Structure 1
Amino acid sequence: MSRRPAHVTSGPYAPPVPARELSVVSADGARLHVEVHGPDGAPAVVLAHGWTCSTAFWAAQIHALADDHRVIAYDQRGHGRSPASTACGTDALADDLEAVLLATLAPGEKAVVAGHSMGGMTVMAASARPAFRAHAAAVLLCSTGSSRLVAESTVLPLRPGRLRTWLTRHVLGSRAPLGPVTPAALRILKYATMGAGSSPHMVEACARIVHACPRGARHAWSQVLYVLDLDDAVRELDVPTAVVVGTADRLTPPRHARSLVAALPRCVGLTELPGMGHMTPVEAPELVTARIRELVATYVGPHTAEGPAGVSATPPAARTAHTPQTAQIKEGA
């Protein structure tokens, strides 16, 4: 295992100590660092973080949920405490999520799976996989998209077109080290990834996580995101799915969320957060946690197992078509 990544050590974004840590082996032999928080037998939630992040990114949600949920978080390969791998791509992302589900959930046990950014893309990539379909009761997609990520990014304040796409690809995919977390680095990260109203402790928490990501992994996965096309996979995501996006998201602007809503077979709501950026689980921790709780209550319920096998039935609501609704949430909600 690699060393524990740098992160803030106090406040709501300081990662809690897990009840258990596992090393899960994926299909190609890659090892994944997995943390389990909360009591055995509680309703399960699985968290997949985004590009350049780690399990520490979900600290606020883990703190809030672990009293009465079993929260499973893992480091994507090459991130956090999961070693780098030569295999980078959507198949690897799907393999890794399947491996985590099989290693941490009982046969037939259902969970809510939440993914942020590349974590949401992981969920899409796994949408047709047997283990995902066996274990996913519902999904939360935060600040994510299925294709044209670089072409539609507004990180660079230029007109859309080939020049902006080329420059954005090279900026996001740079091999240069990010260096220490300085005041200048905080300003850059806030501009690129967070809303103007994000508080300093939110920005610092994100910066420490992002700056701890190895530059080789950062570059390798940026190339995957450049060519990403999961539009067909979205249409295979046949579980109740809620979508959250910040209106000031420059990395995956709201048009991505609206495209997902239009394509998802069973969307159960779109929440647009005015003025918030790409890091919605950090910028709006209570809202994201509340969405996870709602999905658990509706589609998993307080008792996840029927007998020792952990088999749960899909609630009738999960088989009912929903008309997506957009909720405009005020800042600070």
Structure 2
Amino acid sequence: MLSLIYNEWVKICKQKSTLLMIALLALIVMAAGGLTKYMESKAGPAAGDWKQALQAENTSLKQNMEGAEIVAPSLREYTNKQIAINEYRIKHDVAPAKESTVWTFMNDSADLISFAGLFVIIIAAGIVAHEFSWGTIKILLVKPFNRWKILLSKYIAVNLFFLLMLAVVFVIAGATGFVLFGTGVAANNVHLAFVNGAVVEQNLFLYLVKTYALNSLSVYLLVAMAFMISAVFRNSSLAIGLSVFLLLMGGTITNLLASKFDWAKYSLFANTNLMQYYDGMPLVEGMTIGFSITMILIYFAIFHLLAFGIFTKRDISV
């Protein structure tokens, strides 16, 4: 099994496009850092008393809550959480960052995971389909391995490549942020979280790791879907096109549906953003983190049952 995974990993690494993808992803992260630095230099340092600004924000939030006739429980919970965090900052003199630091830039760079996902989707979409289009699938299947092991080795290799691309984003963002912005004031380099009705300070590095891991869930499932389409339909173009479309538009479409229909909570993209339960509010009222994890597991199981079930049972012809 390990030899199969190694062979698939070598196949991925030998492709000229792989090195190009890694270099391009690193360039995108560095360009984002340069643009952020340029915009901050044009805007100049933030002015005013931050404590007064937070007090004014809390006053505005409370007035909005009191003035609203109907307030969704999830929105009320999110507003109370934000007010509590602001009050904690004022009381304990924990000022929000006035300008970017390596930590804030790394946090913002989590949005660039979608670019990493785009490249991984291309690999996942072709890793099985290309075996059919190149006519090498029969040579692969005559080896003394079960079909499911061959397919699993390809899937593991794809996920290893995904982890590599995530590491590229994380490491390059950290290096770029350190060079351009520095570490900032030590007292401000904490993450404030609202846990069990109280504000607590959390390790910022561990929070960033959690952010990257949770933000990669939607990409991970799209990679699994692209792999499934590649295995079932043997068509890399279909896998790339559909997966990239959902990567770019899936969240937007889900948000529009969720504003009108409660059944939108059963869609894939309503549940992949688990950060909504930590730093935001659920997309649809009544959603819980347990519900989202259950839906993720259901979609994950469907993708893999289709991929492995059809690939291992049908006749192979090229």
Same fold, judged at TM 0.5 (above): no
Greater strand fraction, Structure 1 or Structure 2: 1
TM-score (norm 1): 0.26
Larger CA Rg, structure 1 vs 2: 2
TM-score (norm 2): 0.27
